[in-house]
Structure 1
Amino acid sequence: MAYRFCENEQFDFEVMALLGAAWQQGSDPGEVLATAGTLREADGRRWFEGWTELARRVRSDGERAAAAGRRTSARDAWLRAAGYFGTGLVAADALADEQRLLSVFREHRECFDRFAAAWEPAAERVAVPYEGTALPGYLFRPATGGADAPTVIVNNGSDGPVSTAWTMLGAPAVARGWNALLFDGPGQQAMLFEHGMPFRPDWENVITPVVDFLLARGDIAAGRLVLAGISQAGYRVPRALAFEQRIAAGVADPGVVSVVDSWWNNFPPELHELFDSGDRTAFDQVMREGIEEDEEFPALWQWRAKPYGIHSPFDLLTEMGRYDLTGVLDRIAVPLLVTSPEGEQFWPGQSRRLYDALPGEKEFVEFTAAEGAGMHCEPLGRALFEQRVFDWLAARLDVTA
């Protein structure tokens, strides 16, 4: 975009994502712009405090509305507050205070819980059985919908809050008369912050329990399941579909073949050569010196690395190298839509790489800057995204909504 809201690139993107969330009532543009205007050159601490302050103010508005019996006003305020808390948490690692991160995460989640309970009909809080524990989630249903309504399994990315998963994929599904399941998998949100459970590359072992849970209920139509994912879930969705055949269609926004490339794209070639040499000690030393030289980068590195639960840069990048679809692409038979936003800043070119390698039914959907829908996850092009993606899904599932 010609206009930048913040000097920090990550913060600038977060403002755009919040503005896009207004399409599904996940933010108020005036609140976003007024707050972003005070944070244009903010460091991590100021960013965290600015959005947390707004979130608490909006949460208080919701609580007053609820006390007065104004359900709709309360519901809308709680959703916005959840989104603002989530935006602040992007910089929580700049505080070097894990307990403060956890405390604010719980405030975020409490707001979303209240929003979900105030939804009509109220969302059902669910627990998906998973390897001796349970993955927390929310099952949203439309006010009117038949027994054969499709169900969208919303797969979050690496660090997005559940409120973003709702506005990007859950809300548009429910608006069309479909069910939507939002859940936290390993390395995501509650499973990371509350339970310390890291990511895993074999995501089929997460999605299969989710599918088992849904189909065991008796009120979810078999053969009508959709798996849709945003950001790093552009890897997770096709990975799961290579093994889980009970899904009717999938969406990867954007397509991701090799997760680690988003990191290597930002490092000089000589650093990659040092990594390839296998000298773990030397690589970690160079990386840590480089990280500490940048005032803002240490917090961002920690935020991005946190879901993997690995502190050594060498070990982290080694582990991330396992998040690669190359060996399983020929197994994907489920129809898959792959988005390709112009200016994709994390995995440029990988949407086309994924699409070209798919052996079965597939669709390649481009979003351009001229349409106002460029950049990772089309932050400012949500209406166009919904139209193209959900119309394709509707055609695959033979529904008219």
Structure 2
Amino acid sequence: MHRPHANHTVFADGFYTDAGRDFAVRLLLGYCSSGGADTGEVLATIARCREGHDLEWSNAWLAVGRRLVADGDASSSAGHRVSAASSYLRAANYLSQAFDGLDGLTDDAKRMPVFAEHRAAWEAFLDHGDFSVQRLAIPYEDTTLPGWYLTPAGGGTGATLVTINGSDGSVSALWSAAAFAALARGYGVVLFDGPGQQSMLFERGTGFRPDWEAVQTPVTDHVCTLPGVDPDRLALYGISQAGYWVPRTLAYEHRYAAAIADPGVVDVRASWLTHMPKHLTNQLATGRADEFDRDLAIGLTVSPKTRRMWDWRARPYLQSQPHAGYFDTLTAVGDYVIDPAIASAITTPLLITDPDDEQFWPGQSTELAARCADGIATLVHFTADEGANGHCQPLARTRTDQRIFDWLDDRLARRD
């Protein structure tokens, strides 16, 4: 029933009381501006998903993702490439939600087929998109990293944006975060799965590492061999936890002409400790590993939801220490720090996003900028009044694109 005087406060109040699920909805709505989701599809799907009911959430996104894959197949068979690409891209993002939602509810034997569906939809999108694509196998230690090199259909400018994903984001989400806007401005774009990310974690069992320069240097070596890449016009972009990996890279790898940390991160572990009881943080700080492991185990037993979140976040760190306890895991996460010595080694111009209401690393964008040498960092604030608050500005990606790419264009000496 129409209520003319109703308050429209969902932006402030949230779509769900659960912060994680609310953030997922905001991310999906933000993808709409780059074709990565459709507003009606998102709102209709969440209307069928009650608070809690995690399997219900996953199954809802699985259903809509599969429906869109079928739509894409039908459009492709009829020769409608643009429609097919749109269906496949949206399907990839929804299937990623379905995969994430199954974490802790089923084992990998049941989850991994959904991940495969997600990646198949992504690859189908690439095959139908209005751009050129080259699949990459980037040499890395004794293996390769999967990647993709996208260039505008009409030819690029030589400027190339290399992207680093966050701790658990999908490659289709990274399209909406940066690749779409970069291609529209004539940039080439490189996306890849690094250690601990997506296929490298779920299919190969490779975990994170704090010394990301050991990853980004061979990636950069390979990027410089790609056709159409101007090695003097390379830019680096990192989202979410890559706000740590970007500055860590720049302290050692100086071939990038400009870089973006969205947002800045100087201490990854801080996001783990924010809601941890004081007695546990004291045990951690004083090295009482046995007590910490015992007490945290009790707490996680009481809250299965928290246990699932812990397992999800800890998994990328446990690959290098398969028998590690909770204390060992947080000790490993404690290595992910941009101290003043590392920050002072950065010589690349660095734009750092700084949104109101940053949920995971509040204040750290400002701290990263302060630790850099004078003239290196540019801090760009995003506000709630402009609809751009929250981690990675989920509902304001168009405004984010405008501000970061105008800055990048100036640094790479390009004008429209």
- Whether these two folds match at TM > 0.5 is yes
**Equivalent residue for 1:104?**
114
Letter paired with 2:282: E
Change (3 A) 1:362 1:356: same
Structure 1 residue 233, shift from structure 2 partner: 0.3
- Aligned counterpart in structure 2 of residue 50 of structure 1, from 57, 60, 63: 60
Separation (CA, whole Å) in 2 of partners of 1:305 and 1:336: 29
- Aligned counterpart in structure 1 of residue 221 of structure 2, from 212, 225, 229: 212
Q: Which sits farther off after the overlay, 366-375 or 135-144?
A: 135-144
Structure 1 residue 149, shift from structure 2 partner: 2.2
| Residues 2-401 of structure 1 mapped to structure 2, 5 A cutoff | 2-146=12-156, 148-309=157-318, 311-326=324-339, 327-359=341-373, 360-401=375-416
Separation (CA, whole Å) in 2 of partners of 1:158 and 1:283: 24
Change (3 A) 1:164 1:331: same
2:399 aligned counterpart, secondary structure? helix
CA contact (8 A) 2:132 2:153 kept: no
CA contact (8 A) 2:164 2:191 kept: yes
Alpha-carbon displacement from aligned partner over 1:175-211 (angstroms, at most 9, x marks no partner): 1011000100000001001100000000011110111
Q: List runs of 5+ in structure 1 lacking aligned partners.
A: none
1:348 aligned counterpart, secondary structure? coil
Deviating above 3 A after TM superposition, structure 1's stretches of 4 or more consecutive aligned residues are: none
Q: Percent of counterpart pairs with the same letter?
A: 44
Aligned residues: 400
Separation (CA, whole Å) in 2 of partners of 1:61 and 1:123: 22
Letter paired with 1:18: L
Structure 1 residue 218, shift from structure 2 partner: 4.7
Separation (CA, whole Å) in 2 of partners of 1:58 and 1:200: 36
Q: Which sits farther off after the overlay, 29-38 or 269-278?
A: 269-278
1:110 aligned counterpart, secondary structure? helix
**Equivalent residue for 2:5?**
none
TM-score by length of 2: 0.94
Change (3 A) 1:382 1:297: same
2:132 aligned counterpart, secondary structure? coil
CA RMSD of aligned residues (A): 1.2
CA contact (8 A) 1:284 1:314 kept: yes
Letter paired with 2:244: Y
Alpha-carbon displacement from aligned partner over 1:96-140 (angstroms, at most 9, x marks no partner): 311222111111000000101111233111111000111001111
2:169 aligned counterpart, secondary structure? coil
Separation (CA, whole Å) in 1 of partners of 2:267 and 2:12: 30
Change (3 A) 1:218 1:76: closer
CA contact (8 A) 1:7 1:40 kept: no
CA contact (8 A) 2:71 2:84 kept: yes
CA contact (8 A) 1:75 1:119 kept: yes
Q: Which sits farther off after the overlay, 56-65 or 251-260?
A: 56-65
CA contact (8 A) 1:43 1:296 kept: no
Letter paired with 2:357: G
